[in-house]
Amino acid sequence: MQQNASRDLYDRALSVLPGGVNSPVRASQPYPAFIERGDGAHVIDADGNRYIDYVAGYGPVLLGHDLPERVIAAIQSQVSDGPMYGAPTEVEVELAEFIARHVPSIEMLRFVNSGTEATTAAVRLARGYTGRDKIVVMQGGYHGAQETTLVEGDESEVTPSSPGVPAAFASHTIPVPFNDETAIEQVFEEHGEEIAAVLTEPILGNRGIVMPREGYHERLRELTEDHGALLIFDEVMTGFRVGGLGCAQSHFGIDPDLTTLAKVIGGGFPIGAIGGKAEIMEGFTPAGDVFEAGTFSGHPVAMTAGLETLRYAAEENVYESLADLGDQLRSGLVDIVADQAPTYTVTGIDSMFKVIFTRDGQPQDGDCTAGCRQDPGCQRGGDCPQNAADVEAAATDRWERVFYHRMREEGVLLTPNQFESQFLTAAHTEADVEETLEAYKSVL
C-alpha cells in the first residue's frame, strides 16, 4: 500500500501542528492516513487508497459522506444567504423544536459549538441550579477537554489527568467505577449534600463501548432524586445514533434532568447543545444568572445541516436499517471471534460496534450474539468488560501497533486505538459488512 503522500503531509504537519494533528485521537504510528475526500461509506486518502470508513468523523457522520441532495441543497441555500449573522434565526428554533419534540426529557435547549462546550456548560448550570460544587463522573468516561472531568483516581484520591488543570478543580470531582452501584451509593452517603450532579454517558463510548448493567441507570436516577442532585446524560456520542430519535435515554427508559448533545445533531458541522427541563434550563443567561455565551452558537449552517439530517433520518427509516446492519455486523464478528480469538469481546448497539481485545473468558453466546448486553445469565457474563478498567486491561497495544495497521492494509479504516468506538452510516451496505468481516477474519 502506497503511503508516501500521507507520510510527507505528516512531516509538514509536524512543523506547524503539535504532534502533527489537531486532536490526539487522530495520531497513529508511524503516521496517520491523511484523508482527501469521502465517497459514500468510503474515504480516500492522499495516496489514493480507498477504505471502508468506520471512523465516521468519530460519530457525526450518520448519513455517509455523500449527503442526500435535499440536505446538500438546504446547506447550500443557507450558505448563499451569508455565513452567519450574530443574531437569532428561524432555523435554530426549528432544530430546537425538532429535538424537544422527539426527546421526552428535553423541554428547552441552548446551542453551543462542541461537545466539550456542552458538557462544560451543563456542569456550570448544575452547580448554579443546586448551589453545590461536587460532580460525580465515571472512571474512564469522556466529557470533552474540560477541567472538571480531566481527572483520574477515585473518591479517596483524585488528581488532574492533564498538566494545566489545577488540583483544586479536581478536588470537586468524584470518579466512581461505571456499573458499580455500591460505589455510587457510598459516595452519596458521604457527600450527598455536596453533590450538584452525576454526569455519565449512557454507555461508556470512549472505552471500547461498555453497556450498563440492568438497573444501574435507574439507581443513579433514584440517588440523584433522593439527594437533590441532577442527573446529566452525556449523549454527545449516543444522541440520535443509539435509540433512534429518542436517543439512548429512551432506549434505557431513563429521564435525566439535563442532556448534552453534539456530533449527529450538526450533520457533520461543529455543534453542541444542552437540553433539559425548562425550570433548570432557564437558569442560563439572559433568563437566569448562569453565564453562557458564544459567538458561533446557533450557527445557521450547522443548524441547517443538523435539522435536514435529522429530518431525513426520521422520514427514511434510517435508524431501523442501521440497527439491522449493526446486528448483522456484530453477529458476524461474534462468530469470527469465537473461532479465532475466543477471549475477545464484541460490544456495541445500533450503529456502534467494537471488538475489545479482552484477555480472559469464554466465547459469547445466547443473548449476546449481536454484542455484549451485560446479561448475568450469559456464560461469560463475568468476563465481559464492566467498566473502564476492564477495557484498559485488554491487549490495547496489539490494536494500536498491529491490528489497526493490518486492517488499513485490508482496506478498512478503524479508529487508531482500542478505546474509540466504530460507527456505521446509512451509506454502508451489506456488501461492505461482508467485506469487513472478511478483513477481520484475515487479521484477527
> b/e string for 83-111 if b means 16 or more Cβ within 10 A?
eeeeeebebbeebbebbbebbebbebbbb
0.85 cut: is pTM over it?
yes
**Which residue is catalytic, options 54, 216, 263, 344?**
263
Q: Digits of tens for pLDDT over the chain (444 positions)?
A: 899 999 999 999 999 999 999 999 999 889 999 999 999 999 999 999 999 999 999 999 999 999 999 999 999 999 999 999 999 999 999 999 999 999 999 999 999 999 999 999 999 999 999 999 999 999 999 999 999 999 999 988 999 999 999 999 999 999 999 999 999 999 999 999 999 999 999 999 999 999 999 999 999 999 999 999 999 999 999 999 999 999 999 999 999 999 999 999 999 999 999 999 999 999 999 999 999 999 999 999 999 999 999 999 999 999 999 999 999 999 999 999 999 999 999 999 999 999 999 998 777 766 688 888 888 877 777 788 999 999 999 999 999 999 999 999 999 999 999 999 999 999 999 999 999 999 999 999
* Residue 365: predicted pLDDT: 65
Express each pLDDT in 283-314 by its tens digit. 999 999 999 999 999 999 999 999 999 999 99
Express each pLDDT in 79-122 by its tens digit. 999 999 999 999 999 999 999 999 999 999 999 999 999 999 99
**Which residue is catalytic, options 45, 53, 234, 350?**
234
Q: Do residue 54 and residue 78 come from a single domain?
A: no
SS3 content of the chain, % helix, strand, coil (to 5): 40, 15, 40
* Residue 438: predicted pLDDT: 98
* Residue 395: predicted pLDDT: 96
Distance CA 5, CA 23 (A): 20
Residue 311 pairs in a beta bridge with none
CB-based burial of residue 54 (10 Å sphere; 0-12 exposed, 13-18 middle, 19+ buried)?
A: buried
Express each pLDDT in 318-338 by its tens digit. 999 999 999 999 999 999 999
- Which SS3 state, helix, strand or coil, does residue 423 take? strand
* Residue 366: predicted pLDDT: 60
Q: Do residue 163 and residue 231 come from a single domain?
A: yes
Q: Which run of H or of E encompasses 123?
A: helix 115-130
Overall domain count for the chain: 2
Last residue of a domain, one of 291, 315, 339: 315
Q: Do residue 144 and residue 258 come from a single domain?
A: yes
Q: Do residue 35 and residue 62 come from a single domain?
A: yes
Last residue of a domain, one of 315, 335, 351: 315
Last residue of a domain, one of 315, 346, 368: 315
Q: What are the two backbone dihedrals, phi and then psi, of residue 383, each rounded to the nearest 5 degrees?
A: -100, -25
Q: Do residue 196 and residue 97 come from a single domain?
A: yes
Q: Do residue 235 and residue 188 come from a single domain?
A: yes
Q: Do residue 381 and residue 305 come from a single domain?
A: no
* Residue 292: predicted pLDDT: 97
CB-based burial of residue 295 (10 Å sphere; 0-12 exposed, 13-18 middle, 19+ buried)?
A: exposed
Q: Do residue 210 and residue 299 come from a single domain?
A: yes
Catalytic residue flag (residue 142) = yes
Q: DSSP assignment, residue 106?
A: -
Q: Do residue 165 and residue 296 come from a single domain?
A: yes
Q: Do residue 219 and residue 200 come from a single domain?
A: yes
- Which SS3 state, helix, strand or coil, does residue 348 take? strand
Q: Do residue 62 and residue 208 come from a single domain?
A: no
CB atoms within 10 A of CB 198: 27
- CATH number for the domain spanning 254: value is 3.40.640.10
Q: Which run of H or of E encompasses 355?
A: strand 352-356
Catalytic residue flag (residue 397) = no
The candidate with the shortest Cα–Cα distance to 285, out of 120, 125, 148, is 125
If you write DSSP's letter for every residue of 160-221 in order, what string do you get? ESSTTS-HHHHTTEEEE-TT-HHHHHHHHHHHGGGEEEEEE-SSBTTTT-BPPPTTHHHHHH
Distance CA 215, CA 232 (A): 17
CB atoms within 10 A of CB 115: 29
Range of the domain at 190: 69-315
- Would you say how long the chain is, in residues? 444
Q: Do residue 199 and residue 229 come from a single domain?
A: yes
**Which residue is catalytic, options 54, 142, 216, 319?**
142
Distance CA 222, CA 34 (A): 47
Report the Cα 382 to chain-centroid distance in Å.
25
- CATH number for the domain spanning 336: value is 3.90.1150.10
CB-based burial of residue 420 (10 Å sphere; 0-12 exposed, 13-18 middle, 19+ buried)?
A: buried
